[in-house]
Amino acid sequence: MKVCEVISVGTELLMGQIADTDAQAIGRMLPELGIAHYHRQTVGDNLDRLVGALRLALSRSDVVITIGGLGPTEDDLTREAIAAALSVSLEADESFARVLRQMFATRNLPWVDSQFRQAHRPAGAEFLDNPNGSAPGLWCRRGNQVIVAMPGPPGEFLPMLGGPVRERLIREFGGAETLHSRILKVCSLGESVVEDRLKDLLASTNPTIAPYAKPGEVHLRLTARGDASLLDPMVAEVRRRLGDSVFGEDADTLESVVLALARDRGWKLGVAESMTGGLVGARLTGVPGASDTFAGGIIAYTPAQKVGLLGVSHEVLDGEGPVSSACASAMAEGCREQLGVEFAIATTGNAGPTADVDGKPVGLTYVAVATPDANHVEEFKFRGTRDGNRTRATQAALTLAYRILRG
């Protein structure tokens, strides 16, 4: 299998001013081309460091893709650096210079002489057409290796990458065996428990399984070489071992699955939020088409609103208090009544940063789900920042909703 390395060029990347979405796009593309990807380097607009990065990449990779540094200004140094790394001269291409001048004329753009830098190429390199900008890409062969240079603006980079560069990489460097991936998404189980149950499978080499932890979820990427149907028995086995904790695949989200399960039952869904202040509603309404199932919600942040908007009793508020199992239940039940929905999700808790007036500690959280048949509550003691606790409470509420709907 050939190996590709990415070099992202630009001081603005090191300064964190922009996200490196170009490099992400390469990363997503390479597996299906059957090309391996082990290293990415990011360097600023500095000739010596860029030459160093290119030499290091050429010492260990077959394909080196550079992003950026091909513009007309003096801090665009990728052409010079490639020539230096390959120990060849940088040559002006007069016929391409004429094409450039023509392009500027037809677009009514002022020509400044620095544009002429873009008509230079390392000796032996080919220009790659850039239909969305003035800086062409470069395809620089050395023996069995290639350096592919493309401009950084995503509007120019992405069409070149996904079009001609992709085709040519497949032809000249692609693996005989294409890679196929599926992602299984897991809730209710921690990463180490998932890994424990799949221990022997994680040693499998085709397909491979890679776990990746997200807040409150574990994603499992299953990747097969050559034959996509190799994935099916592995997916079935993972599902058998993890059961309903596998809530979805690929583009599914916990909220999209919750909505789909409620829709299947013909149920409308509502939320009653205190601690999460709208986050549960925001996630559910982030799903396109949510409005056929998600009716609405009530953010009852103060005790008075829990009484006024949700009908929580004074007994509960004065007794167990607003941060309690009884209050979460009453909120969910009140939401069902006020909104006239079958299924309600409620949250209450103390997100922090300090203990609340009742002395309930930071992180103490109750999530409840009410259905036509029953009321379910869970208690959590989170330990984190205000933001972190609110995010965890949201995830816990959706997880409980999923488990109840799955039955």
Q: Which of 101, 166, 221, 360 binds a copy of itself (CB under 8 A)?
A: 221
Footprint of a copy of itself on residues 153-182 (CB under 8 A)? Answer: 153, 155, 159
Q: Which part of the chain contacts a copy of itself (CB under 8 A), choosing from 86-94, 165-173, 301-309, 311-319?
A: 301-309
Pick between residue 89 and residue 291 the one whose CB is nearest to a copy of itself. 291
Output the smallest distance, CB 175 to a copy of itself, in A: 16
Q: Give which of 324, 316, 344 is closest to 332, Cα–Cα.
A: 344
Output the smallest distance, CB 40 to a copy of itself, in A: 4
Q: State the Cα–Cα distance between residues 239 and 242, nearest whole angstrom.
A: 5
3-state secondary structure at position 145? strand
Q: State the Cα–Cα distance between residues 349 and 356, nearest whole angstrom.
A: 9
Edge-to-edge, what's the strand order for the sheet holding 208-214? 208-214, 217-225, 179-187, 246-249
Q: Which of 1, 99, 304, 355 binds a copy of itself (CB under 8 A)?
A: 304
Q: Give which of 338, 299, 320, 313 is closest to 377, Cα–Cα.
A: 320
Q: Which region, left, alpha or beta, applies to residue 278 given φ > 0 means left and ψ of -120 to 50 means alpha? A: left
Q: State the Cα–Cα distance between residues 58 and 51, nearest whole angstrom.
A: 10
Q: State the Cα–Cα distance between residues 382 and 365, nearest whole angstrom.
A: 7
250 counts as binding a copy of itself under rule CB under 8 A: no
Output the smallest distance, CB 348 to a copy of itself, in A: 12
Whether the Cβ atoms of residue 170 and residue 33 lie closer than 8 Å to each other: yes
Footprint of a copy of itself on residues 66-125 (CB under 8 A)? Answer: 71-75, 103, 106-110, 112, 114-115
Site string for a copy of itself, 33-72 (x = CB under 8 A): ----xxxxxxxxxx--x---x--x--------------xx
The amino acid at 98: R
Output the smallest distance, CB 124 to a copy of itself, in A: 27
Q: Give which of 105, 103, 107 is closest to 129, Cα–Cα.
A: 103
Pick between residue 143 and residue 198 the one whose CB is nearest to a copy of itself. 198
Pick between residue 121 and residue 268 the one whose CB is nearest to a copy of itself. 268
Pick between residue 155 and residue 407 the one whose CB is nearest to a copy of itself. 155
* End-to-end Cα, the chain, rounded Å: 46
Pick between residue 90 and residue 213 the one whose CB is nearest to a copy of itself. 213
Site string for a copy of itself, 122-151 (x = CB under 8 A): ---------xxx------------------
- Bridge partners of 119, per DSSP, are none
Pick between residue 24 and residue 89 the one whose CB is nearest to a copy of itself. 24
20 counts as binding a copy of itself under rule CB under 8 A: yes
Integer angstrom CA distances of residue 159 from 128, 355, 362: 12, 53, 49
Integer angstrom CA distances of residue 330 from 74, 103, 180: 67, 69, 48
Q: State the Cα–Cα distance between residues 341 and 104, nearest whole angstrom.
A: 62
Pick between residue 88 and residue 193 the one whose CB is nearest to a copy of itself. 193
Footprint of a copy of itself on residues 225-244 (CB under 8 A)? Answer: none
Output the smallest distance, CB 355 to a copy of itself, in A: 13
Phi, psi for 228 (deg, rounded to 5): -60, -30
Q: Which part of the chain contacts a copy of itself (CB under 8 A), choosing from 92-100, 233-241, 258-266, 279-287?
A: 279-287
Site string for a copy of itself, 308-327 (x = CB under 8 A): xx------------------
